[in-house]
């Protein structure tokens, strides 16, 4: 529990929008004839962090790191197994279904695949206006007015309202998803791999749009992605997740220039970069595959792939250590 204290002490002031404390999400694994629970898949295992108003916290991790599950727990789409989430100072992790609904206005999500996340039988107007229909008592003409406003804001044309999702390219569909997320004027948007299905030239358009909207509307983002370049571009702070845990969290510049956790170091040096001078960087290789989250290694979860693992790593779980202002790392090398 010490990691909670260290992380929250980093800020602890009024400008905190989201405060996640010791969140765990375990999925039961059923087996046998009686379908009894025979184990747990620890998708998110004791994660704590805060997000300030107006900032973007990037969450990076490979598949299976628990980053998407974390986003869904925060949005109340999944109930946490343990832990607390405060949004604007209000505890939201224990709310009943009915109590959650007003909250949905303030918290929205943009999903990865704009082909799967938009109902193909609804026109853009219906898709974008649907949240207004559910959440507000606006009249038809008011809804239309508001929808046009937001559709133009995300860079589509007002007469695109009458078209259907299949008439748009991937990048434009992602703009529709963003319009749908923003129509209620949320404070907080979780972006779950919003650009990873897009080509680079389109990805850049959508990333620029998201930055502009953040400046315009004062949005706070939790940006979940596996692409370290994309996360670096959009985030103010970055948390690196591995097997359900945060390995390292730091302001962007600090994390990319001075990564401390061997996993972060390995991750950064695994990315093929366009090195115009072609000078060979020293590569830190991460060997092997991600262990199963149903049966994570004892002690430090990264130790089975860590080039710097030592005896202590197998027995003791590393706690967060503060290495610089806002820079925390969970690794025995620094304790």
Partner 1 sequence: MSNDPVLDVEQLKTYFYLDEERVAKAVDDISFSIYPGETVALVGESGSGKSITALSIMQLINKPGKIVGGSISIASEEILTLSSKQMEKIRGNDIAMIFQEPMTALNPVFTIGNQISEILRKHKKLSNKAAQEKAINLLKTVGISRAEEIVNEYPHQLSGGMRQRVMIAMAISCDPKLLIADEPTTALDVTIQAQILDLMADMKEKFHMALLLITHDLGVVSEYADRVMVMYGGQIVEEAPTSKLLELTKHPYSQGLLESLPKLEEDVDRLGTIKGTVPPAYDFPSGCRFSSRCPFVMEKCKQSSTDLKKIDQDHFVRCYLYENGGSEE
Which residues here bind partner 1, judged by CB under 8 A?
62-63, 169, 171-172, 199-205, 207-208, 211, 226-230, 232-233, 253, 256, 266-268, 270-276, 278, 283, 285-287, 289-290, 305
DSSP tag of 158 = G
- Nearest distance, CB of residue 289 and partner 1, angstroms: 5
Q: Closer to partner 1 by CB, 13 or 63: give it.
A: 63
Is residue 319 within 8 A of residue 3, CB to CB? The reply is yes
- Nearest distance, CB of residue 279 and partner 1, angstroms: 12
Cα separation, 250 vs 334, in Å, equals 15
Encode burial over 262-288: b for 16+ CB neighbours within 10 A, e otherwise: bbbbbbbeeeeeeeeeeeeeeebebee
Is residue 18 within 8 A of residue 50, CB to CB? The reply is yes
- Nearest distance, CB of residue 138 and partner 1, angstroms: 33
Q: Closer to partner 1 by CB, 200 or 217: give it.
A: 200
Q: Closer to partner 1 by CB, 100 or 202: give it.
A: 202
- Nearest distance, CB of residue 219 and partner 1, angstroms: 17
Q: Closer to partner 1 by CB, 37 or 270: give it.
A: 270
- Nearest distance, CB of residue 60 and partner 1, angstroms: 10
Q: Closer to partner 1 by CB, 50 or 203: give it.
A: 203
Q: For residue 20, count other CB atoms closer than 10 A to its CB.
A: 26
Is residue 24 within 8 A of residue 93, CB to CB? The reply is no
Tokens of 299: 């002690």
Is residue 206 within 8 A of residue 194, CB to CB? The reply is yes
């Amino acid at each position: 529990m010490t990691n909670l204290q260290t992380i929250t002490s980093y800020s602890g002031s009024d400008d905190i929008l989201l405060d996640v404390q010791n969140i765990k999400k375990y999925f039961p694994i059923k087996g046998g004839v009686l379908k009894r629970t025979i184990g747990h898949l620890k998708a998110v295992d004791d994660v704590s962090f805060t997000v300030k108003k107006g900032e973007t916290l990037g969450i990076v991790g490979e598949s299976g790191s628990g980053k998407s599950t974390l986003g869904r727990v925060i949005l109340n789409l999944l109930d946490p197994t343990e832990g607390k989430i405060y949004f604007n100072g209000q505890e939201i992790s224990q709310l009943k279904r009915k109590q959650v609904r007003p909250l949905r206005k303030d918290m929205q999500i943009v999903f990865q695949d704009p082909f799967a996340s938009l109902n193909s039988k609804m026109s853009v107007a219906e898709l974008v206006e649907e949240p207004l229909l559910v959440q507000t008592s606006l009249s038809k003409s008011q809804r239309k007015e508001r929808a046009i406003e937001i559709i133009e804001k995300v860079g589509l044309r007002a007469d695109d309202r009458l078209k259907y999702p299949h008439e748009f390219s991937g990048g434009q569909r992602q703009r529709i998803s963003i319009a749908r997320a923003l129509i209620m004027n949320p404070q907080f948007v979780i972006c779950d791999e919003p650009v990873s299905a897009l080509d680079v030239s389109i990805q850049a358009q959508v990333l620029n749009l998201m930055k502009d909207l953040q400046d315009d509307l004062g949005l706070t983002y939790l940006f979940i992605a596996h692409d370290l370049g994309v996360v670096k571009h959009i985030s103010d702070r970055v948390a690196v997740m591995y097997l359900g845990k945060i390995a390292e969290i730091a302001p962007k510049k600090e994390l990319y220039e001075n990564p401390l956790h061997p996993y972060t170091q390995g991750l950064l040096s695994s990315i093929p970069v366009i090195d115009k001078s072609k000078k060979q960087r020293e590569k830190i290789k991460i060997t092997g595959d991600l262990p199963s989250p149903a049966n994570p290694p004892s002690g430090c979860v990264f130790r089975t792939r860590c080039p710097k693992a030592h005896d202590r790593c197998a027995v003791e779980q590393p706690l967060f250590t503060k290495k610089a202002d806002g820079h925390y790392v969970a690794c025995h090398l620094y304790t």
